[in-house]
Amino acid sequence: MQSIAGLIRRLRSAGGDLRAGASRPRESAAEHGARISRALVGGVVFAVAVASFARVPLLPDIGATLSLSDGDLGLLTAAFGLGRLLTDLPAGRIASSVSPRRGLAGAGIALAVACALFATAGSFAQALVASALIGCASALTNTAGMYAFATAAGADRRGANMALYSSALMSGQTVGPAAGGALAALAGWRGAMGAAAAVGVAVAAGSLGRSRIAASRGSLGPAPSVDRAGVAESGGDDPPLGREPSAYPEGAVARPPRWELAALAAAPFTVFFVIGGVSQTLVPLIGGRQLGLSATTIGLALALGGAMRFPGAWVAGLSSDRYSRKVVLVPTLFILALGAGVLALDAGTVGWITAIVVLALGSSAISVAAAALADRVPRDRLGHQLGIFRLTGDAGLLAGPILAGFLYEASGAGLAAGVTAAIAIVAALAALRLIE
């Protein structure tokens, strides 16, 4: 009897092993599809960022061709920021109510039209409209991409997903100016903008093509996605990235308190305020006027800071998954304050470089805050809240250079950097109140 019982146990064990083995290929295929989806959505975010920021080094040549003043060139940059501000909220609604994939396709179309207008611009008015439309395409891509990555997995992997999104975006913003300058050297600024328009066409065609394939097969396509419950409610066509519905947590079912939303919105405002006001304004001014550094040296130092944002984003994202969002968010905001404080100390070139690196590491707060927002907000409201999240960030990007430049001219780097540090401290203290 014991031998018969043992045989039965072995047969049951063998059957279980066979069933487990049969299920492994399906799981492997699902995970493979998820990786492809994230890679392609990240590729779209990267490509649009490259095309959007390729215009930056072209501004002097554009001004010379169109006979524009320095003030006119400033308005071109402001038009880009205004286009982003006006698009952030609609982009969030498109991502959640329609489909992130279709939002990315619309971004590609807008980018192609905008860059074509820029490439053929014969007047300041046409260039101004083109710059604003590029800002619209940028905002639509950033918000739809952020929504896709935030909803592509459960809370246990959301921080890593947001780190991947940030890496794609930062890579594009870093490569874009270099690519624009190189293309302009070969084909002029109009040729460079024509190449950027071709990127938009490729993004639109790829996103629309994947939508048709996914619709015809009724299966996962490599594109941004949300959970099945959210798609069913919104009428979108994007299933989850390589996960069965049962693998997802139920998630938030009620809107979080307004003070929590405000505390989380303070993070993107602070990060973009620091990027615009300190990294892009005070750092070059201090390096050139007070330290006597060349433009090449300043550019290399900023490139170092940009490179440090990648490990910072990954460490912060993975740590927030393992521990908690607040445990990572609060220190990163204090790191931003520390970087601004170092810059205020007037510690020479070494202190200046140290401040650049510390500020870059602290900028990872934005991806952690986005993951925390996605943890708290019901799926049907997440697109709208991410639109607000991006809107407050872009508001900081506009306000930072204005306030920092004014304070620098009025009282020097100490006051300007000190006020920035104070803003970061306030944001960190607000994040301390978050409920885990």
Homologous superfamily of domain range 255-436? MFS general substrate transporter like domains (1.20.1250.20)
33-250 and 255-436 in the same fold: yes
Q: What is the Cα–Cα distance from 221 to 208, expressed in whole angstroms?
A: 11
- Non-local (6+) Cβ contacts of 246 within 8 A are none
pLDDT tens sequence across 13-58: 444 443 444 444 444 455 555 566 777 888 899 999 999 988 888 8
- Read off the pLDDT of residues 147-189 as tens digits, 9 standing for 90 and up: 888 887 777 888 888 888 888 888 888 788 888 888 888 999 9
- pLDDT on residue 283: 84
Q: Are 379 and 231 in contact (CB under 8 A)?
A: no
- Region 335-362 average pLDDT: 90
Look at 48-57, 115-124, 214-223 and tell me which has the smallest mean pLDDT: 214-223
Dist CA 42 CA 25 (whole Å): 25
pLDDT score recorded for residue 133: 95
Task: Report the distance separating Cα 394 and Cα 81, nearest Å.
Answer: 7
Confidence of residue 208 (pLDDT cuts 50, 70, 90): confident
Question: Which of 120-124, 324-328, 337-341, 342-346 comes out lowest in average pLDDT?
Answer: 342-346
Look at residue 434 and tell me whether its pLDDT is greater than 90.
no
Task: Indicate the average pLDDT of the chain.
Answer: 80
Alpha-carbon distance 331 to 383, whole Å?
Answer: 27
Confidence of residue 305 (pLDDT cuts 50, 70, 90): confident
Residue 72's pLDDT is 83
What's the mean pLDDT in 51-66? 87
Averaged pLDDT, 339-358: 89
The stretch 327-355 carries a mean pLDDT of 91
Q: What is the pLDDT of residue 420?
A: 92
End-to-end, the C-alpha distance of the chain in Å comes to 55
In this prediction, residue 5 has a pLDDT band, given cuts at 50, 70 and 90, of low
Least confident of 36-45, 52-61, 200-209, 255-264: 36-45
pLDDT at 391 over 50: yes
Average pLDDT over residues 354-360: 91
More confident site: 300 or 371: 371
Amino acid at 414: G
| pLDDT at residue 210, as a whole number | 58
pLDDT, average across residues 198-204: 93
Q: Is the pLDDT of residue 202 over 80?
A: yes
Whether the per-residue pLDDT at 302 is higher than 50: the answer is yes
CATH class label, 33-250: mainly alpha
Regarding predicted confidence, which is higher, 224 or 327? 327
Counting Cα atoms < 13 Å in the Cβ hemisphere of 208 gives 11
Domain ranges of the chain: 33-250, 255-436
Per-residue confidence at 253, pLDDT binned at 50, 70, 90? low
For the ranges 100-114, 192-206, 269-283, which has the lowest average pLDDT?
269-283
Residues 166 and 307: their CA atoms lie apart, in Å, by 12
